[in-house]
């Protein structure tokens, strides 16, 4: 039937939003199965709003002294829609120091009318004022429910085979500012990636529909 055939699920490839109950949220792997049954995977991205009352952490005050061991400066060159990004490692800094830097006049988000205006400013200023990215910080700042323990196939790879692939079957933390950019990786193409925004300004994502992934891969084969 059309209802059970993946081809007919979410034919418009709409990015769907889900609001699980607390009980559903506890078994996230099973909830992913439900999301797929609704055709959410066809869009390439779905939004999950945690249930009311759930808190990832009681307070974020204690992370100010947490160290970002290897922040990177993202230097971008290029023009006309074709750019190259170079990452230059900087000295370590605390989250508190990074917060002050991100909110400084040099690095803060510019004034904008709406999202479209902000996106135009992003591309127009991409090669100016290289942002600092607190990337690939191993670990998690969740108190209990943790994306590092979702009882998925990748958890089994670690538990039963002893194979640890940092950032793939272990969580990474990222501290970003205006214009910091996270590129596509092979694992992002082949596997689901779960991201949670703990605090700060909204984060923007660029998405390719599931049936366009071959075309995207072709763009990188040159």
Within 10 angstroms of residue 71's Cβ, the number of other Cβ atoms is 23
- Long-range pairs, 11-18, Cβ under 8 A, ≥24: 11/39, 13/42, 13/43, 13/44, 13/209, 13/210, 14/43, 15/43, 15/45, 15/46, 15/47, 15/207, 16/40, 16/43, 16/46, 16/47, 17/46, 17/47, 17/48, 17/49, 18/46, 18/47, 18/48, 18/49
Taking domain 55-177, whether its CATH number is 2.60.120.10 is answered by: no
**pLDDT confidence of residue 222:** 47
**pLDDT confidence of residue 123:** 94
Instruction: Give the tokens for residue 37.
Output: 């049954």
CB 101 within 8 A of CB 177: yes
Q: Where are the domains of the chain?
A: 1-53, 55-177
Q: Which residue has the tokens 């689901």?
A: 192
The model's pTM = 0.81
Rounded Cα distance between 187 and 199, Å, is: 25
Instruction: Give the tokens for residue 141.
Output: 């700042």
By DSSP bridging, strand 67-68 and strand 93-94 are antiparallel
pLDDT band at 183 (very low <50, low <70, confident <90, very high): confident
What's the burial of 98, exposed, middle or buried (CB within 10 Å: 0-12/13-18/19+)?
buried
Rounded Cα distance between 120 and 126, Å, is: 10
Residues 28-61: tens digit of each pLDDT: 889 999 999 999 988 888 999 999 988 887 778 8
Residues 52-108: tens digit of each pLDDT: 988 887 778 888 999 999 999 999 999 988 899 999 999 999 999 999 999 999 999
CA 207, 29, 54, 167 torsion-angle sign = negative
The mean pLDDT of the chain is 84
pLDDT at 196 > cutoff 90: no
Structural Rg of the chain based on CA atoms:
19
pLDDT band at 158 (very low <50, low <70, confident <90, very high): confident
What's the burial of 109, exposed, middle or buried (CB within 10 Å: 0-12/13-18/19+)?
middle
């Amino acid at each position: 039937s059309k209802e059970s055939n993946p081809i007919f699920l979410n034919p418009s490839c709409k990015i769907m939003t889900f609001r699980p109950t607390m009980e559903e949220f506890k078994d996230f792997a099973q909830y992913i199965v439900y999301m797929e049954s609704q055709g959410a995977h066809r869009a390439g991205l779905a939004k999950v709003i945690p249930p009311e009352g759930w808190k990832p952490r009681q307070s974020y005050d204690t992370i100010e002294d947490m160290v970002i061991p290897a922040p990177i400066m993202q230097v971008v060159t290029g023009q006309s829609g074709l750019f190259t990004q170079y990452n230059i490692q900087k000295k370590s800094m605390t989250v508190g120091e990074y917060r002050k830097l991100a909110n400084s006049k040099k690095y803060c988000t510019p004034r904008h009318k709406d999202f479209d205006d902000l996106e135009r400013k992003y591309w127009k200023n991409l090669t100016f004022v290289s942002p600092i990215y607190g990337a690939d910080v191993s670990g998690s700042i969740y108190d209990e429910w943790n994306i590092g323990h979702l009882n998925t196939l990748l958890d089994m790879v670690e538990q039963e085979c002893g194979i640890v692939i940092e950032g793939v079957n272990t969580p990474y933390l990222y501290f970003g500012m205006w214009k910091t950019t996270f590129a596509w990786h092979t694992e992002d193409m082949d596997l689901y990636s779960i991201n949670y925004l703990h605090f700060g300004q909204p984060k923007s994502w660029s998405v390719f529909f599931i049936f366009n992934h071959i075309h995207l891969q072709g763009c990188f084969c040159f």
